[in-house]
């Protein structure tokens, strides 16, 4: 079977994210996003700087084409790219970089992948929800929104990470 290019899969997922943001409003308490896991899945051969630029471009594209305050997704997504290498080395180990091997559920196990997804998803949501609320919403509202969004985002991200993994694309 022909292997699908990573960036084609990445582009399709970005389009799906734009459609989700525009048309799938589940609740005030749910911000459904797969952007963090998309940035986390950028192949290891790309440097942090490259990941930063990809994340910035993705964030701006989603901000421009989807409803909401311009810049929110960019603000929350760039830190995910900045901490991508740190997350990978903490969860999967330094040897991922020496072997230049991309992570996947099959290679690294469900627990480690889930942990990495939860970390980047949480980082993204904390920044996004804080900036979106701009100090006007009560703490309990933000907390509930964070928990609901983390759970739903995690489930959808598991599908996205599979689509972006080397095995999923082959």
Partner 1 sequence: MPRQRRLIPILISTAIFILMEIAALNMISSNGSLQRHWIARGAHRIQGTLWGGTEGVKYYFQLRKINRDLAAENGSLREDLAYYKAIVDDARLDTMKLGILEGRGFTYIPAEIEKISRNRQHNYIIINRGSEDGVLENSGIVTGKGVVGIIDAVEKHHSYALSFMNPDISISARLGDKGAVGPLVWDGRSSRRAILREIPLQYKYQEGDTVYTSGYSSIFPPDIPLGTAGASKVINGATNEIKVRLFQDFSTIRYVTVVSNTSQRELEALEDK
Can you give the binding site for partner 1, defined by CB under 8 A?
47-49, 52-53, 56, 59, 63, 69-72, 74-75, 78-79, 81-82, 131, 134-136
Question: Least distance from C-beta 123 to partner 1, angstroms?
Answer: 13
Shorter beta-carbon distance to partner 1: residue 55 or 113: 55
For partner 1, which is the closer residue by CB, 46 or 154?
46
For the chain, the three-class secondary structure string (H helix, E strand, C coil) is CCCCCHHHHHHHHHHHHHHHHHHCCCCCCCCCCCHHHHHHCCCCCCCHHHHHHHHHHHHHHHHHHCCCCCCHHHHHHHHHHHCHHHHHHHHCCCHHHHCCCCCCHHHHCHHHHHHHHHHHHHHHHHHHHHHHHCCCCCHHHHHHHHHHHHHHHHHHHHHHHHHHCHHHHC
Q: How far apart are CA 66 and CA 83, in angstroms?
A: 25
Q: Please state the closest distance from residue 72 (CB atom) to partner 1, in A.
A: 6
For residues 20 and 55, which CB has a smaller minimum distance to partner 1 in the complex?
55
Beta carbon nearer to partner 1, 26 or 70 = 70
Give the nearest distance from C-beta 55 to partner 1 in angstroms: 8
Shortest approach of partner 1 to residue 105 CB, angstroms?
28
Question: Integer distance in angstroms from the first to the last C-alpha of the chain?
Answer: 6
In terms of CB distance, is 74 or 108 closer to partner 1? 74
| Alpha carbon distance 7, 21 (integer Å) | 21
Rounded to the nearest whole angstrom, what is the least distance from the CB of residue 4 to partner 1 in the complex?
Answer: 29
């Amino acid at each position: 079977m022909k292997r699908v290019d990573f960036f084609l899969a990445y582009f399709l997922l970005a389009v799906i994210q734009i459609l989700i943001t525009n048309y799938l409003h589940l609740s005030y308490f749910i911000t459904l996003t797969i952007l963090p896991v998309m940035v986390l899945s950028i192949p290891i051969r790309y440097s942090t700087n490259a990941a930063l630029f990809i994340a910035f471009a993705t964030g701006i594209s989603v901000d421009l084409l989807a409803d909401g305050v311009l810049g929110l997704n960019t603000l929350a997504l760039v830190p995910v790219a900045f901490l991508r290498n740190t997350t990978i080395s903490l969860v999967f180990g330094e040897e991922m970089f020496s072997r230049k091997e991309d992570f996947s559920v099959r290679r690294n196990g469900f627990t480690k992948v889930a942990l990495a997804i939860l970390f980047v998803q949480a980082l993204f949501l904390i920044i996004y929800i804080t900036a979106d609320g701009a100090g006007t919403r009560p703490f309990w509202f933000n907390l509930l929104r964070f928990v609901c969004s983390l759970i739903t985002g995690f489930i959808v991200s598991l599908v996205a990470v599979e689509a972006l993994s080397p095995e999923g694309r082959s």
